[in-house]
Structure 1
Amino acid sequence: MGRGNSKVMPEEAKTGYASVVRSLVAFTRARGVKDEAEKKRKSFWFGGNGEKRQGKERRPSKSQDIGDKGQRVKAKTYKDKFDPRVTARYDIKALIGRGSFSRVVRAAHRGTRRPYAIKMMEVEFPEGREVCAAELTALRRVSHPNVVRMVEVFQFPHRVYMVLELATGGALLDRVVSKGRFMERDAAKAIKMVLAAISYLHGLGITHRDLKPENLLYYHPGANSKLLVTDFGLATLRDVESERLVGSDGASVDTSRSLRSACGTPEFMAPEVVQRRPFSSAVDLWALGVIAFVVLSGSAPFEDESRAKLSRAIVRGKYSFSGDPWPRVSDPAKDFIARLLLVDPRARLTADQALQHPWVASGAPASSSAAAAADLYRPISRNLRRRASRDSSRGPSRSSGSGPGRRVSSMATGLM
């Protein structure tokens, strides 16, 4: 979505299948050097630019030098755009992400030197105000280990600056391909953290509406890092007591539009969203089912370069556990996905019920079955490569379609 009548919401995320494959290539080249893969990864919204290299550094090539200069110029350009009241408290370091209405920079608090991410949002136009209001409404209410934390906010007539905790561990799929070994227990651990966040959010009446791997970021590169749910630009908030949808100013919002509009990332949209039927927080559980499918296989249950065909596939809810690595995936894992990818939202597991599912609750221990003990890394990485190759072959036209990092606005009309 852009200014005027544009119908595409924030730009395509920088961490999609293509960036996952770049991480995979980086890992392959640096196999045996554990930290190298971490340095290669980049996150779209809150990811860091990597740690300083230790030991002797190679002299950068001419192209690298030009790139570094360009990055410094960009950082300075966006630093100059920041309000002096923000730069008085924070030292702007580098630009690390961008969207249609926002720019994200890495910054350091001038007093404590602690690192943060600052999201500068343009709110001059209605679409930008809508996205900003949704994110502020949600983040002002939340405090959970698996939800990105907002530290403070600077609000001005045309811009809003959100200071957020900085996550440097990379996006979910980046972590999958950088490990070099990936089993069901790794997937179950990640899904359990996301479910903990969803359960908490739904308890507050918050529906995220744009859950996808790119919006799930690790706090740090370590093996025991927590996973954070980020990007609440499409979130809705329902007052649990009065059952009314509320805006950031506490005023009621027209639910006929907010709870019927088609918005989100097409491949992760629930059937009721695609059909513009009234929907509930169950849409987040459908999205989680798609995420679990992708994490365990490297492919999506519903995908097609035609948005119309993709929509029909989602509405039918037909998918299959065929092809590699599904024969190596356990039945409990497949059952977990099947209980989320149900066309009838009333039949889906709730977040609390999903947390109690045996596959999640047990952490998919490797000893439970031969399938759960299988290393899924090779088939997952191969499927991700194939997906990236298909997307690249489609060329520029793909950008107007249903790519995994593409969101459509509540005014989108191309899904039916």
Structure 2
Amino acid sequence: MGCGSSKVLPEPPKNCYVDFVKSVVKYKNKRKDYEAEPLKPPGGKSDFSGIWNRDQGQHLLLPQTSSCEDGQKRNKVAKYRAKFDPRVTARYDIKALIGRGSFSRVVRVEHRATKQPFAIKMIEIRAREGREVCESELNVLRRVSHRNIVQLMEVFQSQDRVYMVMELATGGELFDRIIAKGSFTERDATCALRMVLDGIEYLHSLGITHRDLKPENLLYYHPGTDARILVTDFGLASSSNKDRDWSMQTTCGTPEYIAPEILLRRPYSRAVDMWALGVITYIMLSGSMPFEDDNRSRLYRTILKGKYSFAGDPWPCVSNLAKDFIERLLTVDPGKRMSATQALKHPWIVTMAASSSMKNLHRSISQNLKRRASSSHCNSAKSGQSGRSSHSRRVWEKELLERNLRQQLPPQK
């Protein structure tokens, strides 16, 4: 992954409610940093549904101290919080552990002065892999300031750890919101896609390619109906000169969303994000995947052919403009694929699906999404993936992808 050397952080957004200055604070802590031990949830579910770039672990609440709790729980909370850098705990009150990875923890915190909620991603940088992921994310997040991109607020650095203070997304994943809604129309889809496209267009204008766009990385800022969508998880992002495209060659991403040019092991451009957006749009309007197969070899060959269909429910009720939007994104030739700017000008997006049927697609979409989620859960359990962290899952997927490409696809000249 690319590593950035710049220490410049983004300017505060105009509507930012935080009054402290973003900074990178370096500090060599001589005391021993102990690993945070896993905490058991005290019962019930978390009072929030999502967090940017969250790992695959459970959402775990830190037990809150009160007179009714026993001393053991209070000691566990105190012990966990004591492991944080004192400069962090001086400014933020640690509330909950909501994600864990092979070398990272994500916690929900509250700013002591403003009482505003945030997320802190704590990354162990002693190992090379941890440093690479941290540098890759910071290289991107330091440069961005957009309402549809998760915002980096502050960074603390010690000898072995980096603490990234981020916006906290509590509104859940894009598709969780679709399932929870009582209705979903093409107009709802265009409203969501405009926000995602605004974020992607901004990233591409800076020469940043996300390279892992998928529904799990699109989160609502809050549970309200007027919430904005945040593009999150920049662990695989690539940052380059915006005038130098076609320079990326790393094989990475999530198999079902990978563009054909990556599978062909050719230099690729920011157009890979637009292919992934085409896959997301297809799922958003149907609840099913355009390219899906338990056999990776067949999946890759289907992607290379761009072979998908608009058959089955609810596609007969979906407008031709919506299908045209998808077709212009799921184009095998990246040179003919719509850019983010062109997608924002597509008539289906511009008119907010005004000429499309306002038929409620919710039932078919939610049924297909739930059916696929159930199937994916069963397949994960059979293959033993259920306990993988997001990083180890990416590494595993990348290794599997490259092995399959070597063994199952013809070499490309």
TM-score tier by shorter-chain length is: 0.7 to 0.9
In the aligned structure 2, how far is the partner of 1:70 from the partner of 1:267? 45
Gaps of 5+ in 1: 2-37, 51-64, 246-254
Letter paired with 2:52:
W
Is 2:138 the counterpart of 1:151?
no
Measure the CA separation in 1 of the matches of 2:257 and 2:358: 28
**Is 1:218 the equivalent of 2:183?**
no
Corresponding position: 1:99 with 2:101: yes
Question: How far apart are residue 120 of structure 1 and its match?
Answer: 0.8
Residue in structure 2 matched with residue 232 of structure 1 by the alignment: 234
Contact preservation (8 Å) 1:98, 1:104 = yes
Contact 2:133/2:235 (8 A) holds in 1: yes
Q: TM-score, normalised by structure 2?
A: 0.77
Question: Aligned match of 1:262 in 243, 251, 254?
Answer: 251
| Matching of residues 98-247 of structure 1 within 5 Å | 98-240=100-242, 243=244
Q: Aligned in 2, Cα 1:244/1:295: closer, same or farther, shift over 3 Å?
A: closer
In 2: Cα distance, 1:312 partner to 1:118 partner: 40
Separation (CA, whole Å) in 2 of partners of 1:207 and 1:275:
18
In 2, Cα distance between equivalents of 1:244 and 1:133: 21
Amino acid in the other structure paired with 1:155 = Q
The within-5 A match list for 1:321-340 is 321-340=310-329
Give, in angstroms, the shift of residue 121 of structure 1: 1.2
Conserved? CA contact 1:78–1:95, under 8 Å: no
Which one-letter code corresponds to 1:272 in the other structure?
E
Distance verdict in 2 for CA 1:71–1:394, change over 3 Å: farther
Aligned partners of 1:41 and 1:174 also within 8 Å: no
Deviations along 1:120-146, one digit per CA (max 9) or x if unpaired, are: 112222222221111101110001110
* RMSD between aligned residues: 3.0
How many matched pairs? 345
Is the Cα–Cα contact under 8 Å of residues 107 and 118 in structure 1 kept in the other structure?
A: yes
- Cα displacement string for residues 350-378 of structure 1 (whole angstroms, at most 9, x for unaligned residues): 0000000011111112xx24xx2110110
Work out the CA distance in 2 between the residues paired with 1:157 and 1:117: 21
Residues 1:376 and 2:365 are matched in the alignment: no
The Cα shift of 1:343 comes to 0.9
Q: How does 1:74-93 map to 2 (within 5 A)?
A: 78-93=80-95
Whether the aligned pair in 1 keeps the contact of 2:172 and 2:223 (CA below 8 Å) is yes
Percent identical residues: 57
- 2:279 counterpart SS class: helix
2-side partners of 1:74 and 1:305: how far apart? 43
**Deviation, structure 1 residue 73:** 8.7
Q: Please report how far the alpha carbon of residue 167 of structure 1 lies from its aligned counterpart in structure 2 after TM superposition.
A: 1.2
Distance 2:241 2:358 in 1: 43
Aligned CA distance change for structure 1 residues 308 and 195 (closer, same or farther; 3 Å): same
C-alpha contact 1:261 1:411 (8 A) present in aligned 2: no
Distance 1:112 1:395, change over 3 A: closer
Cα distance, 1:261 vs. partner?
1.8
| Mapped partners of 1:70, 1:219: distance in 2 | 35
SS at 1:352 equivalent: helix
**How many angstroms does 1:199 deviate by?**
0.4
Report the Cα distance in structure 2 between the residues aligned to 1:227 and 1:72, rounded to whole angstroms.
36
- Are 1:75 and 1:95, in contact at CA under 8 Å, matched by a contact in 2? no
Structure 2: segments with no counterpart, 5+ residues:
2-44, 61-67, 406-413
**What is the distance in 2 between the residues matched to 1:41 and 1:122?**
25
For 1:269 and 1:73, the matched residues in 2 are separated by 46
> Using the alignment, how far apart are the partners of 2:195 and 2:49 within structure 1?
21
Residue aligning to 2:50: 43
